[in-house]
Amino acid sequence: MRTLEQTTDEILNLAAAHFKVPRAGLSPADDFYKKLKIDSLQALDLLSRLENHFGVELPDYEVQGVSDFRTLATRIQARL
Amino acid sequence: MSEHRGKALSWGLVDGVAEVEMHLSPCNEIGTAMLEDLERFLKALPVLEKQTGALILYSTRKEGFSAGADLRELHARSLEATERERLEGVRSFLLRIHHVLNSLDASPLTTIASVHGVCFGGGFELALTCDLIVADKMARFAFPELRLGLIPGFGGIPRLRRDTGNSVVRDLLLTGRSINATKAQSAGLVSQVAGEGEALRVARATAAQVLKFDRATSAATKRFAKPIPLDDLRREIDLFCDLFARPAVMEGLRKFVETTDAHPYLP
């Protein structure tokens, strides 16, 4: 099973690739709305991609108030 | 009549299939402009029904199929109206949209919604009038109306109940959460999940398959297999209007249209 660090790393890789930002510029504590320059509709798109990638279902109310990659990773980790 | 380019909606025959394209910025919100074009389309539908056996409904807005009712228009009109005008206006709108959606639901054509991106609220209700939903794997479906102190008003609850189990209906309505295409398929709401960007292609392949069958038989099968819950649809309008009269709804609408929150589409 993935560790939290692995999950976080995969999220950062996926986000960088999909939203076309340099992976080296992303870190777990970053605000993903600001770093990826996305709005809530695009955040839902990210959510779909993460659900597909990890094979989990993550209700969007679980990411309400979440804006950093690390906390997002803990939400996903709890579903693995 | 069998071809038209409107402000919100355009339609025509493509390879023998009626295709209806939604293209209203920002995300096909269902307000006056979309309703008027849907009503124009309804007048053209009998002509299309003589020319083909299948119809595809899709969006060319990159954000998705439809983000639902035009809440900004609803809020703006509510501010300009007296209490009585506001309530009468909402009921009138609902009766009109129900007429359109019920007619689409009852069409002898096999109807296919090709869904990508967001398919929320009224947009989800529009998709549910179709016989089949083909969804892009990144599509998301939601009924967020409870966030505004409302229920789906365009026929969503009776049509959800027609297609899926009550536990899924309760989950979607009472949490207001969005579900992805795979979950929607496992719930029986989506017929096929397509690869990213492939939903329209898959919908077209499905329409080509559907057209192989005798039209009268397909139409009779659809009438028998897919009842239209008219009594419940009428009750939904009444319940929506009762809820809409509550002050909390105007407050919910105001918060939605005035928000500077980057995340208005999260529950």
pLDDT per position as a tens digit, B115-139? 999 999 999 999 999 999 999 999 9
The CATH number of the domain holding residue A40 is: 1.10.1200.10
Sheet holding B54-59, edge to edge: B4-5, B9-14, B17-22, B54-59, B110-115, B132-136, B192-194
Rounded-to-10 torsion of CA B30, B167, B137, B65: 0
Q: What is the ipTM of this complex?
A: 0.90
Q: pLDDT tens digit string along B162-191?
A: 999 999 999 999 999 999 999 999 999 999
The CA-based angle B104-B120-B266, given to 5 degrees, is 175
Q: How many domains does chain A have?
A: 1
Q: How many domains does chain B have?
A: 1
Name every chain A residue with its beta carbon within 8 A of the beta carbon of B261: 40
Q: Which residue of A has its CA nearest to B63?
A: A41
The CATH number of the domain holding residue B33 is: 3.90.226.10
Residue B206 CA to residue B201 CA, distance in Å, equals 9
Q: Is the pLDDT of residue B91 over 70?
A: yes
Q: Which residues contact B246 (CB under 8 A, 6 or more apart)?
A: B149
Q: Phi, psi at residue B21, to the nearest 5°? A: -105, 125
Among the listed residues B100, B196, B79, B189, the one whose alpha carbon sits nearest the alpha carbon of residue B143? B189
Q: Which residue range is the domain that position B252 belongs to?
A: 4-258
What predicted TM-score, i.e. pTM, was given to this entire model? 0.95
Mutant choice from B115, B173, B263, B265 vs A, greatest count of A C-beta within 10 A:
B263
Q: Which of A40, A49, A59 minimises the CB distance to B263?
A: A40
SS (H, E, C) chain A: CCCHHHHHHHHHHHHHHHHCCCHHHCCCCCEHHHHHCCCHHHHHHHHHHHHHHHCCCCCHHHHCCCCEHHHHHHHHHCCC
Helix (H), strand (E) at residue B100: helix B83-106
- At CB < 8 Å, which residues of chain B contact A? 27, 63-64, 67, 117-118, 137-140, 175-183, 261-267
- The verdict on a CB contact (< 8 Å) between A52 and B175 is no
Q: Which residue range is the domain that position A51 belongs to?
A: 4-77
Distance from CA of A23 to the nearest CA of B (A): 22
B4 within 8 A of B44, measured Cβ to Cβ: yes
Name every chain A residue with its beta carbon within 8 A of the beta carbon of B263: 33, 39-40, 43, 64
- At CB < 8 Å, which residues of chain A contact B? 33, 39-41, 43-45, 47-49, 51-52, 57, 59-61, 63-64
pLDDT above 70 coverage of chain B, percent: 97
pLDDT, greater one: B1 or B184: B184
| Candidate from A46-60, B51-65, B244-258 with smallest mean pLDDT | B244-258
Q: Which two tokens stand for residue B131?
A: 């016989």
Q: Is the pLDDT of residue B226 over 60?
A: yes
Tell me the pLDDT of chain B averaged across its residues.
Answer: 95
Residue B136 placed within a domain: yes
Q: Is the pLDDT of residue B267 over 70?
A: no
Tokens 């094979």 belong to which residue? A55
A60 within 8 A of A44, measured Cβ to Cβ: yes
For residue B199, name the pLDDT band (cuts at 50, 70, 90). very high
pLDDT, greater one: B40 or B80: B40
Predicted pLDDT of residue A41: 86
Q: Is the pLDDT of residue B113 over 60?
A: yes
Distance from CA of A61 to the nearest CA of B (A): 6
Rounded-to-10 torsion of CA B255, B67, B101, B197: -170
